[in-house]
């Protein structure tokens, strides 16, 4: 481990490998490239301090370097102990980002590094899961006076932050980047859908076709996971608590069951709910031998590891990122990536073209906080639609796609009420 006042990384000599990764993904992130070019010219964050807790991999690195190119002092800690790429972190340290993260860090290190990232006394926070915001509100309240606001990347984080707002404990404004159209319609659906199966396939090297895949949760992430599972030839079963989403899943052509029923027939289980203990003891007790379980939700609580450990008579690791729980009756249940985000812990996360839009929104959210914090209340906000549309337009242009324009006649018609039957 190499540690100085400005960074703590596994091995600073890994930087050249990380630099190559960052250069590679940057070529497929045209929206963030456009924003970076503008930021480099205008330097809007000159003298501004931005602390981040994110998945520290190559796409994230390009966002952090974009903020640095805009003049900001940037610090970073990991939002997940198993998603950190040590060579990318080394490259960030070499580039002057104050970064503190090591793949596989324990809980104590996780929070120690987060506090180090907060020591820059940030004006803006970029969070993933709301752990940094929560830490400031509970343990680092001395930072609040200089903190203008924060942005949040994930569904899970936004749920936590809205709960904070409801309880009256928020002390600064939050931008729910996750709730922007060009984030959740694409990142949550197409990004999670592809990267989750990337992680499962890399880890197991097993066939998906012909298997019963149980998708627990049918929000935008669950929709993407289910869609891709069907494309891989699986029979897809959806488990939902929301009757409207359950009905939507059935109308989309998927089977819908409760968890106990699905537990008896599933071959592969993927959770994406943002809630705790969605698969637990009574479900493990009726599962088939050889079942594979993976989590695509933010925290490692959706599949009950304590229940698995209680039921197991032997625990082993037959392959990297696979934990085998052998039960008393001889059945073996397999948990991928310790129940953490399988797409980041066992693969490289969302594709660059997807994170291009999400991180473009994060960059613009930081700029929005910079320009508007004095008039924002301590509430959860969504970015203005024009920022969403700007991201979509740049993305379409990069794909060589032109959209239709309204004629003046059409515009007048849409703005009028006189025309009827």
Q: Please tell me the distance from the alpha carbon of residue 131 to that of residue 111, in angstroms, as a whole number.
A: 9
How many Cβ atoms are within 10 Å of 257's Cβ, its own excluded?
A: 18
155 is in an annotated binding site: yes
218 is in an annotated binding site: yes
296 is in an annotated binding site: yes
Give the strand order in the sheet containing 7-9.
2-3, 7-9, 98-100, 73-78, 49-54, 124-127, 149-152, 174-176, 380-381
Beta bridge pairs of residue 175: 151, 381
55 is in an annotated binding site: no
How many helices and strands (H and E) does the chain possess? 18, 17
153 is in an annotated binding site: yes
212 is in an annotated binding site: no
419 is in an annotated binding site: no
420 is in an annotated binding site: no
CA atoms within 13 A on the CB side of 283: 26
235 is in an annotated binding site: no
154 is in an annotated binding site: yes
343 is in an annotated binding site: yes
350 is in an annotated binding site: yes
346 and 202 Cβ atoms separated by less than 8 Å: yes
Pure H helices in 27-154: 30-42, 58-69, 86-94, 107-118, 131-139
What angle do the packed helices 30-42 and 58-69 form, to 10 degrees? Answer: 20
223 is in an annotated binding site: yes
In residues, how long is the chain?
A: 421
Binding-site residue ranges? 128, 153-156, 183, 187-188, 217-224, 240, 296-298, 343, 350
Binding-site residue ranges for substrate? 128, 153, 183, 187
Binding-site residue ranges for NAD(+)? 154-156, 188, 217-224, 240, 296-298, 343, 350
């Amino acid at each position: 481990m190499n540690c100085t006042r400005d960074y703590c990384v596994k091995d600073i000599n890994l930087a050249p490998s990380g630099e190559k990764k960052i250069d590679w993904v940057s070529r497929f992130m045209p929206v963030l490239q456009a924003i970076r070019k503008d930021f480099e010219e205008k330097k809007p964050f000159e003298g501004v301090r931005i602390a981040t807790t994110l998945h520290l991999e190559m796409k994230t690195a390009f966002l952090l370097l974009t903020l640095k190119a805009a003049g900001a002092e940037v610090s970073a800690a990991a939002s997940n102990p198993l998603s950190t790429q040590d060579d990318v972190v080394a490259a960030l340290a070499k580039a002057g980002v104050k970064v503190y993260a090591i793949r596989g860090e324990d809980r104590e290190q996780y929070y120690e590094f987060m506090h180090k990232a907060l020591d820059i006394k940030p004006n803006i926070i970029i969070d993933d899961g709301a752990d940094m915001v929560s830490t400031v509100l509970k343990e680092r309240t001395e930072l609040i006076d200089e903190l203008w606001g924060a942005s949040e990347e994930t569904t899970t984080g936004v749920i936590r932050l809205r709960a904070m707002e409801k309880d009256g404990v928020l002390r600064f404004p939050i931008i729910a980047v996750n709730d922007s159209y060009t984030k959740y319609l694409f990142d949550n659906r197409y990004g999670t859908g592809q990267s989750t199966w990337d992680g499962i396939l890399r880890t197991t090297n097993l066939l998906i076709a012909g298997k019963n895949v149980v998708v627990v949760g049918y929000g935008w992430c669950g929709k993407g996971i289910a869609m891709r599972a069907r494309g891989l030839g699986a029979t897809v079963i959806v488990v939902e608590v929301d009757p409207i989403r359950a009905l939507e899943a059935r109308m989309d052509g998927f089977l819908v069951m409760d968890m106990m029923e699905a537990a008896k027939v599933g071959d592969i289980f993927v959770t994406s709910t943002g809630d705790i203990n969605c698969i637990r003891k009574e479900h493990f007790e009726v599962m088939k031998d050889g079942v594979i379980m993976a989590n695509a939700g933010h925290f490692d609580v959706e599949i009950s590891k304590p229940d698995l450990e209680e039921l197991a008579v032997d625990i082993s690791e037959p392959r990297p990122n696979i934990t085998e729980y052998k039960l008393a009756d001889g059945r073996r249940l397999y948990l991928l990536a310790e129940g953490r985000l399988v797409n980041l812990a066992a693969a490289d996360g969302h594709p660059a073209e997807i994170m291009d839009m999400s991180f473009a929104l994060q960059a613009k959210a930081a700029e929005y906080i910079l320009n508007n914090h004095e008039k924002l209340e301590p509430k959860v906000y969504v970015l203005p639609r024009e920022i969403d549309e700007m991201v979509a337009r740049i993305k379409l242009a990069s794909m060589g796609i032109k959209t239709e324009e309204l004629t003046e006649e059409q515009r007048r018609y849409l703005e009028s009420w006189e025309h009827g039957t």
